[in-house]
């Protein structure tokens, strides 16, 4: 039986909060460190500051017992393992901004000065290859005034799908641990006790590259499917029939072949852009990866173009937008495909009414001037057209609600509807 560990997690965002809550469920003693006192208070009260299926139950079960949050780094001074889960947002050139990583390293190292035990610092944030070895390790050791014999280092990428993250944590396809120190690698493996999954041990740079490559490949499958869908649209072919036949090939698989409005969220756009930037710095021209981004950038605008084909001039027309989150089962709007669609609708003089089961509040900060409904019916009433942007299950049940529209022009960016009369973006 592996002993319970004292874990500090730096960063109470999506990855850090889910990871910390799940580690607490496994019986470890977890402290989440975040600079936002409001978020810290919410976590300590057992209230998740984000929506994620199953997260609230985990927080209420463990907050105040195996899980706590703090704005300070005191917990690092007796931690067995410290996970870095801060953001690495894109810079203007697409490369990863590592300033939060650098800041976290200095604070962690300062906290480890008085830690009398061997501790392992683990990067879980998505970072360019070489970051753990060349930035994190020297920065922590310098601030801690210690050696590699006293502090170990590892890279442990996350593969959590938003909306299904808790399930993914407890039932992962694999656990990747990158480390050059067997002692550090073993400690990271030990913290995942009772998780039945293959453990892949690699070097730190390989582990960093595995994360980028995984997301880039999945994004490529999506853009490839969308490009095939665009061709099928002209030929009068149902791309979903095509991809069903293609996906049954075991060499390809059915996942991520659903054509539609494109990918969004906190990972795929950012990580593919970072990989493109990294490739260019090495002198490579990443033609395929750049095309993945180009297809994704254009895909949502095809919905507006199709709407104009069916409706004519959309200036002054009421357009309903169903779905604001970048995918179902989350309130995350980062790189949501609804954002460029709404921008273009407004630029062309349309009146926009929007509804999402979870993400309306977040989108109000981006578009405060549009109408937000409390149900699909609210925004469909009197609408001249409707665009479906998110695959929320409740949208699949819509039928008579579309009779409230002034003109029944319905265009799907996700294949979710079961009613008659809807048209797909690329099917």
pLDDT digits (tens, 9 = 90+) for 389-399: 999 999 999 99
Map tokens 């075991």 to a residue.
Answer: 250
Q: Which residues, including other chains, have CB under 8 Å from residue 379's CB and lie 6 or more apart?
A: 320, 321, 322, 353, 354, 355, 371, 372, 373
**Could you write out the DSSP letters of every residue in 61-101?**
HHBTTTEEEESS-GGGGG-SEEEE----PBPTTS-B--HHH
Instruction: Using alpha carbons only, give the angle 218, 220, 225 rounded to the nearest 5 degrees.
Output: 100
Q: What is the mean pLDDT of residues 128-154?
A: 98
Do 91 and 194 fall into the same domain? yes
Instruction: Give the whole-angstrom CA distance, residue 274 versus residue 272.
Output: 5
**pLDDT greater than 50 at residue 4:** yes
**pLDDT greater than 70 at residue 376:** yes
241 is a domain residue: no
**pLDDT greater than 90 at residue 1:** no
* pLDDT value, residue 387: 98
115 is a domain residue: yes
Do 158 and 298 fall into the same domain? no
If residue 277 lies in a helix (H) or strand (E), which one and from where to where?
Answer: helix 268-281
Give per-residue pLDDT as tens, 240-267: 999 999 999 999 999 999 999 999 999 9
Q: Which one from 267, 386, 419, 426 is the annotated catalytic residue?
A: 267
195 is a domain residue: yes
175 is a domain residue: yes
Do 141 and 28 fall into the same domain? yes
CA distances from 323 to 152, 375, 385, 402 (A): 45, 11, 14, 15
- Identify whether the C-beta of residue 383 lies closer than 8 Å to the C-beta of residue 345: no
Per the structure, the count of domains in the chain is: 2
* pLDDT value, residue 91: 96
Q: Which residues, including other chains, have CB under 8 Å from residue 18's CB and lie 6 or more apart?
A: 52, 55, 160, 165, 166, 169
426 flagged as catalytic: no
58 is a domain residue: yes
Q: What is the CATH number of the domain that holds 309?
A: 3.40.50.720
* pLDDT value, residue 2: 53
Q: What is the mean pLDDT of residues 261-285?
A: 97
**pLDDT greater than 80 at residue 3:** no
Q: Which of 202, 233, 268 is the last residue of a domain?
A: 202
Q: Which of 183, 202, 221 is the last residue of a domain?
A: 202
* pLDDT value, residue 331: 96
Q: What is the mean pLDDT of residues 323-330?
A: 96
Give per-residue pLDDT as tens, 147-196: 999 999 999 999 999 999 999 999 999 999 999 999 999 999 999 988 99
1 is a domain residue: no
Do 177 and 308 fall into the same domain? no
**pLDDT greater than 80 at residue 197:** yes
Do 288 and 167 fall into the same domain? no
Do 43 and 99 fall into the same domain? yes
Q: What is the mean pLDDT of residues 80-88?
A: 98
Do 171 and 266 fall into the same domain? no
212 is a domain residue: no
Q: Which residue segment(s) compose the domain that 119 sits in? A: 6-202
225 is a domain residue: no
The count of residues in the chain is: 427
Q: How far is CA 315 from the centre of its chain?
A: 34
Q: Which residues, including other chains, have CB under 8 Å from residue 201's CB and lie 6 or more apart?
A: 177, 178, 179, 185, 189
**pLDDT greater than 50 at residue 98:** yes
Q: Which of 170, 202, 234 is the last residue of a domain?
A: 202
């Amino acid at each position: 039986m592996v002993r319970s560990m004292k874990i500090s997690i730096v960063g109470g965002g999506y990855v850090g909060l889910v990871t910390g809550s799940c580690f607490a469920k496994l019986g470890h003693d977890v402290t989440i460190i975040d600079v936002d006192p409001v978020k810290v208070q919410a976590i300590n009260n057992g209230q998740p500051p984000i929506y994620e299926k199953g997260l609230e139950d985990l927080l209420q079960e463990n907050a105040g017992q195996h899980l706590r949050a703090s704005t300070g780094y005191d917990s690092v001074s007796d931690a067995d393992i410290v996970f870095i889960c801060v953001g690495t947002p894109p810079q203007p050139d697409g490369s990863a901004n590592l300033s939060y990583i650098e800041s976290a390293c200095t604070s962690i190292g300062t906290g480890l000065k008085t830690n009398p035990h061997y501790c392992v610092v683990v990067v879980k944030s998505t970072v360019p290859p070489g970051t753990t070895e060349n930035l994190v390790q020297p920065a922590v050791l310098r601030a801690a005034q210690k050696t590699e014999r006293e502090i170990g280092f590892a890279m442990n990428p996350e593969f959590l799908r938003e909306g299904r993250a808790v399930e993914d944590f407890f039932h992962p396809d694999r656990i990747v641990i990158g480390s050059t120190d067997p002692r550090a690698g073993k400690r990271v493996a030990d913290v995942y006790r009772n998780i039945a999954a293959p453990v892949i041990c690699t070097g730190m740079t390989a582990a960093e590259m595995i994360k980028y490559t995984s997301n880039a490949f999945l994004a490529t499958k999506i853009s490839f499917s969308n490009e095939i869908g665009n061709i099928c649209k002209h030929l009068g072919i149902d791309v979903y029939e095509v991809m069903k036949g293609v996906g049954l090939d075991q060499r390809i698989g059915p996942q991520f072949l659903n054509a539609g409005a494109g990918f969004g969220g906190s990972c795929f756009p950012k990580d593919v852009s970072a990989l493109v930037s990294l490739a260019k710095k090495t002198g490579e021209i990443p033609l395929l990866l750049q095309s993945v981004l180009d297809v994704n950038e254009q895909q949502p605008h095809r919905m507006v173009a199709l709407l104009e084909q069916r409706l004519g001039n959309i200036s002054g027309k009421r357009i309903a937008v169903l779905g604001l989150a970048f995918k179902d089962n989350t309130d995350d709007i980062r790189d949501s495909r609804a954002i460029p669609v709404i921008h273009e609708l407004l630029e062309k003089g349309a009146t926009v009414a929007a509804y999402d089961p979870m993400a309306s509040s977040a989108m109000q900060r981006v578009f405060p001037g549009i109408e937000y409904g409390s149900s699909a019916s609210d925004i469909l009433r009197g609408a001249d057209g409707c665009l479906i942007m998110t695959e929320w299950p409740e949208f699949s049940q819509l039928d008579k609600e579309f009779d409230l529209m002034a003109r029944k022009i319905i265009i799907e960016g996700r294949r979710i509807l079961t009613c008659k009369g809807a048209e797909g973006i690329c099917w």
